[in-house]
Amino acid sequence: MIMTPTQRIVRALIAWVVVAIFAFPIYFWITVAFKPERDIFALPPKLASFDWNFASFQEVFGISFGFIEGLEVLPGGGNFYMLPRLYDSIIVAVFSTLLSVVIATLASYALSRMRIRGQHHFVFFVLSTRMMPPVAVAIPMFFIYKNFGLLDTYIGVILVHALMNLPLAVLLLKSFFDDIPAEIDEAALIDGASRFTIFRKIVAPMAMGGIAATAVLCFIFSWTEFLFVLTLTQTSLKTVPVVSSTFVTSTGTAWGNMAALGVAAMLPAFIFILLVQRNLVRGLTLGSLKQ
């Protein structure tokens, strides 16, 4: 589209305004994290003119931002000490992402390259496992996990998150493999490579961008999942979304702490996204332009 300079400026302006509207709730949430408790409910809402302080963060992470206020390091402790929970979240998200990407890569390579009877139906079946209401999965899982001792373990949560992400991952990755010409496989076949060598040395590296995009989506969905973690964990681990309900207490909600955790929890995921942003955008077409 050819645009005049004025049109470009207008377009950029509108774009900035729209994104600002979307970013605003995040800014608001950040202010809540930095506000003194009292100001959170002040009317009219205080959006900038309050004492920025780190109290909420100090409680949530058990560290003092002493370099700012000349305070000593605080020991962790208390109900709202969330650093280990952030760690739990990262472990769960990273490993469930790894697991689902590995499984889905294998499966979608086969779906893309080998002839399978009723392939369309199989893929639809895979997709349909995502259609189950989470509560319907949670109860049976609870009993399986109980029997296999997976309750309240990292492995258990990682497995169920991997499952949850498989349909999307298979769908995405298959489209990426479909984009890679089959002749590459054939050339390698003639060169003497086995299927697995072709997959590992040739095709998977070529689909790396797509795999990265898939990984980001899996990471996000695992990072934000609530009901499975709630049902399948007890005291040994908890991820951020579930632990955020700890702030809802019988004498009120600790909004500042919740916001501090929310803001802090955005960072790891956002860093992950930034690292692969280019691939993400390409990846999300789901290969659907190829008929």
Partner 1 sequence: MQLDAPQGSAVGGIALRGPGRAPRRRRYLTDSPWIWLAPLIAMLLVFALYPLFYNIYLSFHEFVPRKRGLEFVGWENWQKLFDDPRMWGSLWVTLSYTSMCLAIEIVLGMAIALLLDSDDRGFGVLRGVLTLTLVIPPAITGMMFLLMEDAQFGLIPFVLKGIGAMDGTGAILSNPRLALAGVMLADIWQWTPFMVLIFVAGLRALPRDPFESAMIDGASSLQMFIRLTLPMMSKVIAIAVLIRGIDLFRMFDYVFVMTSGGPGTATYTLSLYAWQQTFSFIHWGYGATISLFALFIIVVVANIFVYVTRLRW
Partner 2 sequence: MSEVEYDKVAKSYGNVKVMEDISFSIPDHKFVVLLGPSGCGKTTLLRMTAGLETITGGEIRIGGERMNGVHPRDRDIAMVFQTYALYPQMSVFDNIAFSMQIRRRPKKEIREKVEWAAALLDLTPYLKRKPAALSGGQRQRVAMGRALVRDPQVFLFDEPLSNLDAKLRAQMRYEIRRIHDRLEATTVYVTHDQVEAMTMADEIVVMRGGEIMQKGSPDDVYDRPANLFVADFIGSPAINLLRGKAEGAGGAPGVRFNNAVLPAPESSAATGDDLVYGVRPVDIGIAEDGPVKGVVLMAETTGAETLLHVDLEGQELRVVLPERRRFKNGETVSLAIDTANVHLFDPGTEARIV
Partner 3 sequence: MNPVDRKLWLANVADRYARGKMDRRSFLRASAKLGLSAGALAAGSHLAARSGFGFISPAQAQQQIDWQGDMMAWLKEVGKPFAGQTVRLATESTPPSNAINSALKPYFEEATGIKVEIEVLPLEQVLQKLTLDVASGLGTYDLYYLDQSWMAAFSQDVVDPREKYESNKDLAMPNYNFDDFLKALVDGISMYDGIMCGVPYDIPIFIQMYREDVFEELGLKPATTMAEFLSNAQKIQEAKGPEIYGTTGQMKSGHYSLECDWTAWLWGHGGSVFGPDGKFTGNDEAGLAAMEYWIKLKENMPEGVTSWTWDGQGQSVAQGIAATVLSWGEFFPSWDAPESSTVSGLMNATVPPAATSLRTVEETGYGEIPGVGHQGGSSLAVSKYAKSPDAAWLFAQWATAPETQVHITTLGGGTGPTRTSVYDDPRVLANAKRGIAGTTRHLPAVRETIANHMGSEPDLPEWAEISNDTIPVELGRFWAGEYDNAKDTMDFIKQQVDGIIKG
Binding site for partner 3 (CB under 8 A): 36-38, 41-43, 55, 58-59, 62-64, 66, 69, 71-81, 83-84, 139, 142-143, 146, 151-152, 230-231, 234-236, 245-254, 257
Pick 74 or 110: Cβ nearer partner 1: 110
Q: Which of 7, 197, 245, 277 binds partner 2 (CB under 8 A)?
A: 197
CA 163 to chain centroid: 14
Rounded CA separation 177/216 (Å): 18
Query: Which partner from the list partner 3, partner 2, partner 1, none does 11 bind, CB cut-off 5 to 8 Å by kind?
Result: partner 1
The structure tokens listed for 208 are 């790396």
Please calculate the CA angle 71-264-228 and round it to the nearest 5 degrees: 135
Rounded CA separation 175/23 (Å): 32
Query: Which partner from the list partner 2, partner 3, partner 1, none does 81 bind, CB cut-off 5 to 8 Å by kind?
Result: partner 3
Query: Which partner from the list partner 1, partner 3, partner 2, none does 206 bind, CB cut-off 5 to 8 Å by kind?
Result: partner 2
32, 48 Cβ separation under 8 angstroms: no
**Quick one: which of 291, 273, 281 has its CA closest to 97?**
273
Rounded CA separation 202/196 (Å): 10
CA 271 to chain centroid: 11
**Quick one: which of 164, 278, 263, 174 has its CA closest to 221?**
164
Q: Which of 149, 205, 278, 281 binds partner 2 (CB under 8 A)?
A: 205
Query: Which partner from the list partner 3, partner 2, partner 1, none does 174 bind, CB cut-off 5 to 8 Å by kind?
Result: partner 1
Query: Which partner from the list partner 1, partner 2, partner 3, none does 7 bind, CB cut-off 5 to 8 Å by kind?
Result: none
Q: Closest approach of Cβ 279 to partner 3, in Å?
A: 35
Q: Closest approach of Cβ 276 to partner 2, in Å?
A: 17
Pick 72 or 250: Cβ nearer partner 1: 250
The structure tokens listed for 250 are 């019988």
The structure tokens listed for 216 are 């980001």
What is the binding site for partner 2 (CB under 8 A)?
Answer: 181, 183-184, 186-193, 197, 202, 205-206, 208
